């Protein structure tokens, strides 16, 4: 069950972006599993994608078509990954079906996104039919339906809207994401789609999306397993009142702050809804010699099965944190290491802190949310990642998925 993910509110429409969803029968479930998203002419699209060398067919295609993108077609239930050349042809066929249903869009302007089981061919005919159905249902206020249609093992839909009041006027932002398992984005989440009504040149938009992803989706790890399909898309429809022409515009900072807020919430909700999650943890590491060293330690802790099962058990078995710090590969001097769980100092300079009582740490570990803070003692650099615990249900979900 998701740890403190707020119920999905009514998401704000973005002028210039229309969405249709349908049940194409890709999964056995009764809910929608296909989304078509159309941008009016003039929109710009940015994207960041998985760093896996086993990039799925839709990821290759979407990345190649970013500059000319006018529509997205998204499906859950089948990842169209490890499907080789035939898989690419399948993705092209589905894109072409979307293009054929629309008067002013060509199939080559459609970007495909898929999530689900790896290694199976797409049900192309069903999806062509689905694409045509979804196009019939295009509306600007379909974001909530889309947030539901992209779910796989997620237990709750994830989406957030925000209006930023910039010096030039209001910018409306809406984002949706799905995650749950196979989550350690290298550049993006499993699937995330954000749109806003400002007008922003593609190059500027792309740079901004990279920065936003680096402090949001790229900070989530559930099982250390990077998907073949991670994709994060940002659309600037250009149909609102705010226009940006260059990197130096001070309004860009205001917009980026808003986007970061939406993206960080979506990213945290992915960790909070991690497969089998019962607790949510923020791992903060400061005082490393470099930012990379801080992240190495943070990931070593956040991905250690021994740490994650201890968090599940609510057991302040802090030796496991030391083990993870030690094996991280970062430059570590144990005699400088300090370890906190929330406000409880467990270890200082590499050994148990004076006055430390296990009951204090046990109180923190019993919470649904906690912060692990490691100070490596070399300075002020700080990094963080978000993660969840490792429960019986993680094993259950992943042993039974597909069956």
Name which of residues 246 to 305 contact its own copies (CB under 8 A): 303-305
**What kind and span of H or E run contains 345?**
strand 344-348
CA distance 74 to 111: 8
Contact residue for its own copies among 96, 186, 214, 256 (CB under 8 A):
186
Q: E strand or H helix at 370, and its extent?
A: strand 369-375
Among 65, 128, 184, 239, binds its own copies (CB under 8 A): 184
> Shortest CA distance to 161 belongs to which of 189, 109, 196?
196
Q: Which stretch binds its own copies (CB under 8 A): 36-44, 205-213, 255-263, 389-397?
A: 389-397
Which CB atom, from 181 or from 240, has the smaller least distance to its own copies?
181
Which ranges of 217-304 would DSSP assign to H, the alpha helix? 250-272, 291-303
Identified binder of its own copies from the candidate list 10, 42, 54, 253, rule CB under 8 A: 54
**Catalytic hit among 50, 166, 189, 338:** 189
Residue 303's closest CA among 388, 176, 378?
388
Total site size for its own copies, rule CB under 8 A? 72
Contacts of 253 (CB under 8 A, 6+ apart): none
Q: Which is nearer to its own copies, 380 or 402 (CB)?
A: 402
Nearer to its own copies, 28 or 403 (CB): 403
Choice from 7, 28, 41, 84 touching its own copies (CB under 8 A): 84
Pairwise CA distance, residues 220 & 223, whole Å: 10
Dihedral angle at the C-alpha atoms of 323, 324, 326, 330, nearest 10 degrees? 180
- Stretch of 75-83, 92-100, 161-169, 239-247 contacting its own copies, by CB under 8 A: 75-83
306-365 positions binding its own copies, by CB under 8 A: 306, 309-310, 312-313, 315, 317-320, 322-328, 330-335, 337, 347, 349-352
User: Could you confirm whether 290 is annotated as catalytic?
Assistant: no
Member of 52, 153, 367, 371 binding its own copies (CB under 8 A): 52
Structural tokens at position 329: 């590969």
Which among 281, 369, 272, 276 is positioned nearest to 324, based on CA atoms?
281
What are the catalytic residues?
Answer: 189
């Amino acid at each position: 069950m998701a740890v403190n993910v707020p119920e999905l509110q009514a998401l704000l429409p973005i002028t210039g972006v229309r969405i249709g969803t349908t049940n194409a029968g890709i999964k056995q479930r009764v809910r929608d599993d296909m989304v078509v998203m159309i941008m009016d002419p003039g929109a710009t699209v940015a994207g960041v994608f998985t760093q896996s060398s086993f990039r799925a067919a839709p990821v290759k295609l979407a990345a190649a078509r970013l500059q000319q993108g006018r529509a997205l077609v998204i499906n859950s239930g089948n990842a169209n990954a490890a499907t080789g050349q035939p898989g690419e042809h399948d993705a092209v066929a589905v894109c072409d079906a979307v293009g054929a249903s629309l008067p002013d869009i060509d199939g080559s302007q459609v970007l495909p996104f898929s999530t689900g089981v790896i290694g199976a061919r797409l049900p192309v005919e069903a999806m062509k039919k689905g694409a045509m159905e979804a196009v019939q249902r295009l509306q600007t206020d379909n974001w909530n339906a889309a947030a539901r249609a992209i779910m796989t093992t997620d237990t709750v839909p994830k989406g957030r809207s925000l209006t930023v009041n910039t010096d030039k006027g209001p910018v409306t932002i809406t984002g949706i994401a799905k995650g749950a398992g196979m989550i350690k984005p290298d550049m993006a989440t499993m699937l995330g789609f954000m749109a806003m009504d400002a007008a922003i040149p593609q190059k500027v938009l792309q740079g901004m999306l990279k920065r936003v992803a680096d402090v949001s989706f790229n900070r989530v790890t559930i099982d250390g397993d990077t998907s073949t399909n991670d994709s994060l898309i940002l659309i600037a429809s250009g149909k609102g009142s705010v226009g940006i022409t260059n990197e130096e515009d001070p309004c860009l900072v205001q917009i980026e702050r808003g986007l970061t807020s939406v993206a960080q919430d979506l990213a945290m909700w992915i960790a909070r809804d991690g497969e089998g999650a019962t607790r949510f943890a923020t791992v903060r590491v400061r005082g490393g010699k470099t930012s990379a060293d801080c992240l190495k330690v943070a990931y070593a802790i956040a991905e250690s099965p021994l740490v994650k099962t201890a968090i599940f058990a609510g057991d302040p078995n802090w030796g496991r944190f030391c083990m993870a710090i030690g094996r991280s590969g970062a430059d570590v001097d144990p005699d400088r290491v300090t370890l906190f769980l929330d406000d409880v100092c467990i270890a200082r300079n590499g050994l148990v802190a004076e006055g430390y009582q296990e009951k204090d740490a046990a109180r923190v570990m019993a919470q649904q949310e906690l912060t692990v803070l490691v100070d490596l003692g070399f300075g002020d650099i700080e990094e963080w990642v978000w993660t969840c615990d490792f429960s019986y249900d993680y094993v259950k979900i992943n042993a039974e998925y597909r069956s």
